[in-house]
Amino acid sequence: MSLGLMFAGQGTQHPNMLPWLDEADPLVQRTLAMLGITDWRLSLGDADWAVGNRQAQVLLTGLDLAAWNQLAARLPAPAAIAGYSVGELAAFSAAGVFDATTALDLAVLRAQAMDLCARQAPGGLLSVSGLSRSVVDALCEGAGVGVAIDIDEETRVVGGPADRLGALASRASDLGAKVGRLGVSVASHTPSMQPAAEAFAAELARVKRHAPRLPLFSNATGGRINDGAQATRVLAQQIARTVRWSDVLEAMHARRPACVLEIGPGSALASMWNRRFPDVPARAADEFRSSDALVRWVDRHMP
């Protein structure tokens, strides 16, 4: 038994996240330079800037990896690693598929490909909870949108044009669902992003990659990644495919971690885990005021 590690995606980024992060970390500074800013917390206070696809994907990839780099030497080697949406870039890097600098460069290219696609087919994402998969599938078919993320039996994220999402939200609310718009400006993980997936695949083909050194699981398949070629293939595919997060969580739980740590903004992934697997505690790095407190929490759960 050991540690499960999850990297968050975009949508919940906020100025006060990761309060213990060392701002002088070279990876943090590289991220700021790539974005042309000097204070990322101040920048996240601008709501329009914070939800921009390029800013969010680059910022979260850099900060997530900087946070993990500051923790890795003090924690057990993960028994399972996964990333949620763009969090896969950090997860793949943490597992050894490519280095952190490459992950940051890929975040820029991924965002550019998705933004170009979004300009041709604008859209967004909407969370829907409280309805069964079959009901949400029927609502999506009726509204002409797609399932972007399959979280569990009663929680899914759907994506598509804003007006269609509005119509689906109204119908879902009438059926008693809880709905909420995510802070993103593209219909990620739906077929409308297929041109972006193909463009990103071409960029990934140029990247030097390795087989994961640690157990790594894929959004696109829900299964374990075994080699570098598979890693880059599924990393591109997930842009236009439903994120099979429910399957990812099952696969991670099968590795029998003693506890699970979420790195990134908010605590959505940890909450998902705790609802599903109350026998294995999960916490978010964002909940701790210091890295020492985080490390002590993990240590308490190690056999």
Specify the CATH number for 3-119+190-301; select among 3.90.1150.10, 3.90.650.10, 3.40.366.10, 3.40.50.740: 3.40.366.10
Query: What confidence score (pLDDT) does residue 171 get?
Result: 94
DSSP classification of residue 192: G
Query: What confidence score (pLDDT) does residue 25 get?
Result: 95
> Is 3-119+190-301's fold the same as 123-181's?
no
Q: Quickly tell me which residue has 């880059």 as its tokens.
A: 232
The answer to whether the CB of 273 falls within 8 A of the CB of 222 is no
Task: Provide the 10 A C-beta neighbour count for residue 161.
Answer: 17
With a threshold of 0.85, does the pTM exceed it? yes
Query: What confidence score (pLDDT) does residue 1 get?
Result: 63
Angstrom distance (rounded) from CA 141 to CA 301: 44
Query: What confidence score (pLDDT) does residue 78 get?
Result: 97
The answer to whether the CB of 8 falls within 8 A of the CB of 64 is yes
What burial class does residue 183 get, using C-beta atoms within 10 Å of its C-beta: 0-12 exposed, 13-18 middle, 19+ buried?
middle
Angstrom distance (rounded) from CA 116 to CA 53: 11
Query: What confidence score (pLDDT) does residue 152 get?
Result: 87
Chain centre distance of CA 10? 6
Cα distances from 14 to residues 23, 166, 209, in angstroms, run 16, 25, 32
pLDDT beneath 50: ranges in the chain:
none
Task: Give the residue extent of every domain in the chain.
Answer: 3-119+190-301, 123-181
176-185, pLDDT tens digit by residue?
Answer: 999 998 877 7
Angstrom distance (rounded) from CA 104 to CA 59: 9
What CATH architecture does domain 123-181 belong to?
2-Layer Sandwich (3.30)
Query: What confidence score (pLDDT) does residue 185 get?
Result: 75
